[in-house]
């Protein structure tokens, strides 16, 4: 049986480009792919980026209106605390969610290891997601454009305690 640590290491190595062209060429799934239908109002835009690469573009996609509603409800239900949330390093380092609303400044949140927080290095309010619900919702929303290796990198991390 392969240990979680070894599986995580293998996923990181694969994502880092060990094995040649993977680290140089970008796959079609690494570019932005929109899942928003033309019947949805463009009033609110939610773009998700999976932080998984270093030195090449991370995969991004737009959420549908239904996905936006589920993610926003999940975030709103989380308890708030203040402090300095963890940041990722190499390999999987969270989902970045860009919240764009007409007439308001864009807001950015990062969902990583059971935390949903605005980016930064200073102590700040953030939400605790002990069940990692937001990360799971965001992973599910991008499954149609993510490669199996990208999905595996997140799933390995989700299987560990935050």
Q: Which of 28, 10, 109, 17 is closest to 54 using CA atoms?
A: 17
- Check pLDDT > 50 for residue 21: no
Q: Which of 84, 96, 85 is closest to 53 using CA atoms?
A: 96
Q: How many domains does the chain have?
A: 1
> Per-residue pLDDT tens for 118-150?
998 899 999 999 999 999 999 999 999 999 999
* pLDDT score recorded for residue 103: 76
Higher pLDDT, 9 or 133: 133
- Check pLDDT > 90 for residue 11: no
Task: Give the domain range for residue 46.
Answer: 4-158
* pLDDT score recorded for residue 140: 97
> Per-residue pLDDT tens for 85-122?
987 778 899 999 998 777 778 889 999 999 999 998 89
> Per-residue pLDDT tens for 56-86?
999 999 999 899 889 999 999 999 999 999 8
Q: How many CB atoms lie within 10 A of CB 16?
A: 17
* pLDDT score recorded for residue 45: 72
β-sheet with 107-112: strand ranges across: 60-62, 45-50, 95-100, 107-112, 115-117, 124-128, 80-83
* pLDDT score recorded for residue 100: 78
Higher pLDDT, 139 or 32: 139
How far is it, in rounded angstroms, from Cα 88 to Cα 56? 16
């Amino acid at each position: 049986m392969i240990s979680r640590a070894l599986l995580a290491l293998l996923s990181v190595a694969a994502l880092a480009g060990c094995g040649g062209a993977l680290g140089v060429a970008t796959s079609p799934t690494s570019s932005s792919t929109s899942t928003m239908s033309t019947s949805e109002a463009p009033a609110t835009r939610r773009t998700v980026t999976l932080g998984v690469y270093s030195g090449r573009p991370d995969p991004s996609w737009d959420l549908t209106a239904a996905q936006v509603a589920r993610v926003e409800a999940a975030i709103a239900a989380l308890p708030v605390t203040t402090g300095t949330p963890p940041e990722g390093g190499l390999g999987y380092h969270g989902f970045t969610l860009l919240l764009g609303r007409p007439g308001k400044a864009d807001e950015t949140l990062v969902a990583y290891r059971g935390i949903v927080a605005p980016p930064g290095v200073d102590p700040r309010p953030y939400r605790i997601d002990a069940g990692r619900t937001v990360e799971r919702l965001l992973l599910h929303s991008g499954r149609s454009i993510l490669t199996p290796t990208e999905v595996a990198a997140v799933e390995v991390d989700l299987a560990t305690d935050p």
